[in-house]
Amino acid sequence: MRISKRKWAPATSTFDEAFSWQVVPLGADRHGTWLGSRRGNPVRQRDGRIEQQPHDAVWLVVEGAWWLTAFWFTAETDLTIDVCTPPVLDESTWSFTDLELDLFRAADGRAGIVDQDEFDLIAASGTLSQHEIETAETTARVLLPLVEQRSEPFDDTALAWLRMLRELEA
């Protein structure tokens, strides 16, 4: 199974595959589908280069949600969230379009929304519909307090899945 992340290409005002990587299906719970990959996992870049994933991570895919969370739990970062089109499973690939508006929670608990400027460029390009723009902005605003308050699933729920990943790959 793999994840394919499309990003906006300003030169062409289109979205194309920017990153793809293999993941291990870990299971599902009331929050959604959990996928994981270990540190060192090859990640194909937009230009065809392969880079190594720097840390173990688990992703939470929620059907119909305009976001995808990566849980890192490193010394610097607990989680990052891509505000994106709802991820779609096609055979063995989860694909989504990153709308560049991102959320994060640092290991020290600070949380925020980043890359508003990048999102604004895409919105101004006419590439997104008004519905997509409004949905992305609303999604980020609604998620931020949940991330800050460590509400499920943005609490330590993912740690159990991260442990499972490490046990599978040990």
Q: What is the mean pLDDT of each run of 10 residues along the chain (170 residues)?
A: 91 84 97 97 93 96 97 94 97 96 97 96 92 97 98 96 88
User: Per the domain annotation, does 160 fall within a domain?
Assistant: no
pLDDT recorded at residue 169: 64
**Other CB atoms within 10 Å distance of the CB of residue 169:** 13
Q: Which residue has 């969370």 as its token pair?
A: 69
User: Per the domain annotation, does 124 fall within a domain?
Assistant: yes
User: Per the domain annotation, does 169 fall within a domain?
Assistant: no
**How many domains is the chain built from?**
1
pLDDT recorded at residue 15: 87
Domain region containing 75: 2-152
Relative to beta strand 14-22, strand 42-45 is antiparallel
User: Per the domain annotation, does 11 fall within a domain?
Assistant: yes
3 state DSSP class of 116: helix
CATH number, domain of 89, equals 2.40.380.10
pLDDT recorded at residue 14: 80
Asked if the peptide bond before residue 54 counts as cis, ω within 30 degrees of 0, the response is: no
User: Per the domain annotation, does 168 fall within a domain?
Assistant: no
Relative to beta strand 77-84, strand 57-61 is unpaired
pLDDT recorded at residue 11: 75
User: Per the domain annotation, does 161 fall within a domain?
Assistant: no
Separation of alpha carbons 52 and 102, rounded Å: 22
